[in-house]
Amino acid sequence: MRSWAVYDWNDLRYLVAIAEAGTLAGAARALRVKHSTVARRLAALESDLGSKLLRKGADRYTLTPAGEEVLAFAGELKAKAEAIERRLGGADARVAGVVRITMPDTIGGWFVQQVPALRERHPELVVNVLADLRVYDLLAGEADIALRLHEKAEGDLVERKLCIAAWSVYASRGYIARRGAPKTLADYAKHDLIGYEGAADRSPGGEWFRENLPDAKFAMRCNGIIQILNATVMGFGITLLPCFMGDAEPTLVRLTPEVFHNRRIRMLVPRDVARLARVRAVMDYVVELFEREADRFEGTSGAARATVGPR
């Protein structure tokens, strides 16, 4: 018998079908192919293996010793293939397993606080949150779901528009009590400013400072939104923050009802991944969250209590 590597594995199913039906015609009906196709594939398999696998009797085919050996092996492969199909089919239909979701770090801190409620609904679900400035390649399998603020991505992706992510100007109540609030952009020269550094300087906060205060003198600069938030809470100075973060912090005051650098948050998922039950469960939950929190993200919930500031 020749090496197992030289033949077409697909031909094994023809041997199994003939052995079960006893005839070429019966195998053809079971496989829904022509009688001649079964005969041709059997001949090809025997040629590849260099052994006669079936002998023709008066009314049916019977296995040769070599055929019995190959059939036993083929049966094992068939059983394993069916088990894999059942397992994968069940996994696709169950809300269980790992889902990797990537998002900017500005959203990540808030999102992880929402995951426990999702786990209560689906205890077998594991959500891995990848929150940083890196753009993960969804089509290469680096993540299952992405929440992004830039323009629509290319490729076979399912897209869902969520809400607007607005930013505004904030300072702590303690800072305002000590230094007062700027009334115009020119007044910022008299205040301590907290700026963005490194890759974070490409954020809406960094863009706002470059567009409105290009000559700003910063008392501190940070490369992470959490550090900037903490510095602002501690009364170190004035900065730009996402409204959903700034308005939620009771120690901070928004210095203007206006919002800046509004960007649409989009959810992107590879089309083939979106059909998985565990991924669909996270997608549905994300939509639910952003529908519920839209006012916070769009900056309308905190606008009414903003102090009078620069316009």
- Residues 165 and 247: beta-carbon distance below 8 Å: no
Same domain assignment for residues 104 and 225: no
pLDDT at 18 over 60: yes
Span 33-46, pLDDT tens digits: 888 888 888 888 88
Distance CA 197, CA 145 (A): 28
CB 197 within 8 A of CB 133: no
Residue 194 counted as domain residue: yes
pLDDT at 183 over 80: yes
Indicate if 108 and 170 belong to the same structural domain: no
Q: Which tokens in the block code for residue 101? A: 């979701």
If one compares 167 and 38, the residue with the highest pLDDT of the two is 167
Q: What does R_g of the chain's alpha carbons equal in angstroms?
A: 32
From 246, 257, 232, 252, select the one nearest 173 (Cα to Cα): 252
The domain that holds 53 is classified in CATH as: 1.10.10.10
In a domain, 68, yes or no: yes
Residue 311 included in any domain: no
CA atoms within 13 A on the CB side of 151: 1
**Whole-angstrom distance, CA of residue 151 vs CA of residue 57:** 69
Q: Which band of pLDDT confidence, cut at 50, 70 and 90, is reported for residue 168?
A: very high
Each residue's pLDDT tens digit, 264-311: 899 999 998 998 999 999 999 999 999 999 999 999 876 545 554 544
Residue 216's CATH number: 3.40.190.10
Do 214 and 236 lie in one domain? The reply is yes
User: Which residues, 6 or more positions from 80, have their beta carbon under 8 angstroms from its beta carbon?
Assistant: none
Q: Give the whole-angstrom CA distance, residue 254 versus residue 169.
A: 6
Residues 272, 160 share a domain? yes
Give a yes or no: residue 134 inside a domain. yes
Q: Residues 53, 172: one domain? A: no
Q: What is the pLDDT of residues 44-97, one digit of tens each?
A: 888 888 889 899 888 889 999 988 888 888 777 766 665 565 555 555 678 889
Phi, psi of 119 (to 5 degrees): -65, -30
pLDDT band at 3 (very low <50, low <70, confident <90, very high): very low
Residues 75 and 9 in one domain: yes
Domain that holds residue 277: 97-164+264-294
Q: Report how many domains make up the chain.
A: 3
pTM confidence score? 0.65
Q: Do residue 251 and residue 268 come from a single domain?
A: no
Greater pLDDT, 202 or 286: 286
Which of 37, 72, 93 is the last residue in one of the domains? 93
Q: What is the mean pLDDT of the chain?
A: 86
Residues 154 and 234 in one domain: no
203 and 189 assigned to the same domain: yes
Q: How confident is the model at residue 2 (pLDDT cuts 50, 70, 90)?
A: very low
Are residues 192 and 231 located together in one domain of the fold? yes
Residue 206 lies in a domain: yes
Same domain for 40 and 155?
A: no
